[in-house]
Amino acid sequence: MEWNIVTLDEVDSTNEYAKRIASEVPEGTVVVARRQTAGKGRRGRRWASPEGGLWFSVILKPPRVDPRLVFVGALGVTDLLRDFGVSAGIKWPNDVWVEGRKIAGILTEGKANEYVILGIGLNVNNPIPEELEKTATSMSTLLGREIPLEVVLQRLLEHLSRWYGLFLKEPGRVVEEVRKRTFILGRPVVVITGEKVLRGRAVDVLDDGSLLVETPEGPVKILYGDVSLRIPEMDTIEQKG
């Protein structure tokens, strides 16, 4: 993949910016910003994006919209962290966690038959806002030193290239790897989808990317989208929502 990087000082959200330019630019355009004033998570949640973190969005034009594309981001980030000696796990479907804290979040948004925006927020050298102190961590906190953002971005893009290539050819293998890196399997979970709250044990990530949860009423397949997942045994350090 040929990357074409657009660097901004400040933007509302790199995902929003990417959406504004997506139809006019080639696949592989990357929008990266030093600060986001309205960085966003799923369902209107906010993503804290102070200077020092890596906030970027990749414009992709896959032949069809596939929700498993979010895994390309999660796998790339866990690989990148491993390069720095940090062992990270995936909290299905879109979070990367280290030592019980969230270090990265991924947000995909798309327009059918046109583009998919793969937005990645990774805490690198940025301060962690007070309200997230117990639930979030950063690379510099873990490593005890600052890491140049360009180095992190470059490496991460290499990993994303690889996973995106595999995703296009054999999405099943991408899921296979996600299954290995998903640390919630075997654990009790609480799944919140809209109004519904479901309690059970996470047992598998299925080939279509959904999560299989065993509940007292039998197995339930959870499609991602707007799902919040809480892990009761980690509740003291788990964020709301």
Window 59-98: contact mask with ligand BT5 (x via CB under 6 A): -----------------------------------xx---
Candidate residues 19, 29, 34, 36; the one interacting with ligand BT5 per rule CB under 6 A: 36
Candidate residues 6, 81, 136, 211; the one interacting with ligand BT5 per rule CB under 6 A: 136
Candidate residues 57, 78, 141, 182; the one interacting with ligand BT5 per rule CB under 6 A: 57
What token pair was written down for 168? Answer: 């296009």
Question: Measured from the CB atom, is 91 or 213 closer to ligand BT5?
Answer: 91
What token pair was written down for 18? Answer: 């990417």
The amino acid sitting at 173 is R
What token pair was written down for 31? Answer: 């929008």
127: Cβ–Cβ under 8 A, 6 or more apart, which residues?
50, 52
Question: How many residues of this chain interact with ligand BT5, rule: CB under 6 A?
Answer: 28
**Is position 123 an interface residue for ligand BT5 (rule: CB under 6 A)?**
yes
Residue ranges in 190-209 that form contacts with ligand BT5 under rule CB under 6 A: none
What token pair was written down for 187? Answer: 């654990």
Candidate residues 6, 14, 60, 227; the one interacting with ligand BT5 per rule CB under 6 A: 14
Give the interface with ligand BT5 as residue ranges (CB under 6 A): 13-15, 36, 39-42, 45, 47-48, 55-57, 94-95, 102, 105-107, 119-121, 123, 132, 136, 239, 241
